[in-house]
A and B are shown apart, each in its own frame.
Chain A
Amino acid sequence: MSTLEMTRIFAAPQEKVFAHLTQTDFLLNWWGPEGTIIADHALSFAAPGPWWATMVGPQGHPATVGGEVKQIDPPEMVELTLSFRMEDGTNGPESVIRFTLDTTPQGRTKLTLTQSGLNPEHIADMRDKGWNSALARLEQLVTAD
């Protein structure tokens, strides 16, 4: 199991960053890279419970992600699960996302994002379908230039 960790410092108060991280109206402004449109959603991390979002990328192909908000401790931490919803109705590998906020001595807000706990069963399932290696190789090929 691998864990992805990223940190960012935002020039904004912690309460405000927390609102942007958890509330629907704010989330819709930033969830997904540039060019992503949220076509349909139940996107809020403000309380425990299910969430999902169908995103349309710049190339117009929709992808749905979803999961469950597990824990919330305003304005410091929110933890949720995330997986891709496949077109055949199954879910991709599930991971756990945790956003943690701290206020720096300069009064800015440090966000630590971790993504961990990919479910070994799902990974095995993906491997059985032959997707993992094909995707990994294909990704290498198309990004090789």
Chain B
Amino acid sequence: MTALPDTFAALGDPARFAIVERLLKDGELPAGTLHQVADLSAPAMSRHLKVLRKAGIIRQRIDKQRRLYAIEPTAIKAINDWAMSYPQFWSGSLDRLDAALKKDLS
């Protein structure tokens, strides 16, 4: 699994973030469509896509002549788990504390 700091580093670039945002919203897209997302040259775009792939954030699929890109769900999950808000953390923990206390008393 890719380390989270690498994931964040890859997402730290506005163009790459825009690409990821678009793929999250629209699902799988061909490279051609992604060129419209950010005002980038073809070589710059392919460099960004490569960084995102290496960081495990997106995956590539080749369909005939087309390269299709999509979000790697496990990467997004990992970020989401890490970024889980404290209210969720505590409320989940306190549910378990309640259950543990009930067990301890019975």
Residue numbers of A with Cβ under 8 A of B are 4, 6, 8, 10-12, 16-17, 20-21, 26, 29-34, 36, 57-61, 63, 84, 86-88, 95, 111, 113, 115, 129-131, 134-135, 137-139, 141-143
Contact = CB atoms under 8 A, between A and B. Distances in A.
Contacts of A63: 81-82
24 contacts: A6-B94, A8-B97, A10-B98, A10-B101, A12-B102, A17-B101, A20-B101, A26-B100, A30-B97, A30-B99, A31-B93, A33-B91, A61-B81, A63-B81, A63-B82, A87-B5, A95-B86, A115-B86, A134-B11, A134-B12, A134-B17, A135-B79, A137-B21, A138-B79
Contacts, number: 115
B78 A30 contact: no
A16 B105 CA distance: 9
B63 interface: no
B62 interface: no
Contact of A111 (B79, B84, B85, B94): B94
Interface string B7-45: 010011000010011001100000000000000000000
Contacts of A57: 81
Nearest to B21: A141
A132 B77 CA distance: 17
Contacts of A59: 74, 77-78, 81
A93 B97 CA distance: 25
A12 B78 contact: no
Interface residues of B, number: 42
B87 to A, nearest CB: 6
Task: Please classify the interface of chain A as helix (H, G, I), strand (E, B), loop, or mixed, using the class held by over half of its residues.
Answer: mixed
Nearest to A17: B101
Closest 4 CB pairs of A and B: A33-B92, A30-B96, A30-B97, A29-B100
B26 to A, nearest CB: 12
B86 A4 contact: yes
A58 B86 CA distance: 17
Nearest to A61: B78
A144 to B, nearest CB: 9
Given A20-B97, A29-B97, 18 more contacts: A6-B91, A8-B97, A11-B102, A12-B101, A20-B100, A30-B93, A32-B89, A33-B84, A33-B92, A61-B78, A61-B81, A63-B81, A87-B3, A134-B12, A135-B8, A138-B11, A138-B79, A141-B25
